[in-house]
Amino acid sequence: MKLAWERPAGFSSMFLRLALGLSFLSAVADRFGWWGAFGQLNVAWGNFARFVEYTSSTGFCHTR
C-alpha cells in the first residue's frame, strides 16, 4: 500500500487540504488579533470584539 504523498493524486489532494486548513486558521488568527490591529495591511477584523459586533448585526435574530 502506497502512502498518500507517493501517488500524484494523493500529493495534490494533501496539498489542497493543507492549504484549505491554513486558510481557515489564518481567518481565525485574524479574528483573535494575531495578524495585527484593525486598519493594518491585510487585517480585516483586528480583534474578536469587532467580529462579534459585526456578526451580531447581520444575524437572523437581532438582539439589539
- All three cell numbers of 61, joined, read 435574530
pLDDT (0 to 100) of residue 18: 94
What is the span of the domain harbouring residue 23?
A: 4-58
Its sign, for the CA torsion 32, 36, 37, 40, is negative
Q: Is 63 among the domain residues?
A: no
Q: What is the pTM of this model?
A: 0.63
Residue 31 is assigned to a structural domain of this protein: yes
∠ CA 33-59-22, rounded to 5°: 40
CA distance 30 to 45: 6
Q: Is residue 44 part of a domain?
A: yes
Q: How many domains does the chain have?
A: 1
> What does the pLDDT read at residue 45?
87
Which segments in the chain show pLDDT lower than 70?
1-9, 60-64
Does residue 64 fall inside a structural domain? Answer: no
Q: What is the pLDDT of residue 22?
A: 95
Q: In this predicted structure, what is the pLDDT of residue 26? A: 92
Residue 48 lies in a domain: yes
Query: Is the residue at 38 inside a domain?
Result: yes
**DSSP E strands, the chain:** none
